[in-house]
Amino acid sequence: MVGAAERPGQLIEMRILDCRHDTHAQAILAILNHAIVHTTALYDYHPRPLSSMQAWFSVRDEQGFPVIGMVCDDGTLAGFASFATFRAWPAFKYSVEHSVYVHPDHRGRGVARALLRELVERARQRGVHVMVGGIDADNHASIALHRALGFEHAGTIREAGYKFGRWLDLAFYQRVLDTPSAPCDG
């Protein structure tokens, strides 16, 4: 078990696992769509259809990028995290952009912290050098989490998005890893 979270009157054990389309697509989509509708964590306007998850998983599967989740002892997906290509040009092959999302019922219980720690380890194993997170500048909880895990502010694009009737600033946080041991241009 990775950890435990408390709900009023009970202790819930959680563990990290690799997510698969057939098992976790609907739960991941529910978390994403909640973030789209209710937050500025995603700069989308409309909930995504279930059919979009096939392509989302396929891209990660084809590139060998992880999709990890934290599940409760009852099988409920408490949150998920992933990384994928940061930019599509070859010189960016050692950089990835990551995402961490937590179901609203499980926020404040260490789920995001555990997922991001595991994602950093997966990035090291893959030989990633830089992890980048694009975070809405008003998302103070996510910024604090990233700072606590060694990410540094790399810049902010002011008024990069517009949602909920206001301009949104997009802050980038990065963590430079000690990998790969022998980078190459090829």
In this prediction, residue 12 carries a pLDDT of 62
Q: Is the pLDDT of residue 3 over 60?
A: no
Q: 9: pLDDT confidence band, cut at 50, 70 and 90?
A: very low
List beta partners, residue 135.
171
Closest CA to 86 of 75, 78, 76, 96: 96
- Chain centroid, CA 110 distance in Å: 14
The Cα–Cα gap between 7 and 88 comes to 42
The overall longest dimension of the chain from CA atoms, in Å, is 56
The Cα–Cα gap between 84 and 147 comes to 21
Closest CA to 186 of 63, 96, 95, 91: 91
Q: Is the pLDDT of residue 104 over 90?
A: yes
pLDDT mean across residues, the chain: 94
Q: Is the pLDDT of residue 21 over 60?
A: yes
Closest CA to 57 of 115, 103, 18, 114: 18
Q: Is the pLDDT of residue 161 over 70?
A: yes
Closest CA to 179 of 101, 125, 134: 125
Q: Is the pLDDT of residue 8 over 50?
A: no
Spell out the domains of the chain, with CATH numbers in brackets. Answer: 3-176 (3.40.630.30)
In this prediction, residue 35 carries a pLDDT of 97
- Let me know the angle formed at the C-alpha of 163 by 149 and 29, rounded to the nearest 5 degrees: 65
The Cα–Cα gap between 1 and 28 comes to 21
Q: Is the pLDDT of residue 1 over 90?
A: no
Q: Is the pTM of this model over 0.85?
A: yes
Transcribe 24-60 into DSSP letters: HHHHHHHHHHHHHHH-SSS--SSPPPTTHHHHHHHHH
Other CB atoms within a 10 A radius of the CB of residue 122 amount to 19
State the average pLDDT over residues 133-145.
98
State the average pLDDT over residues 162-186.
96
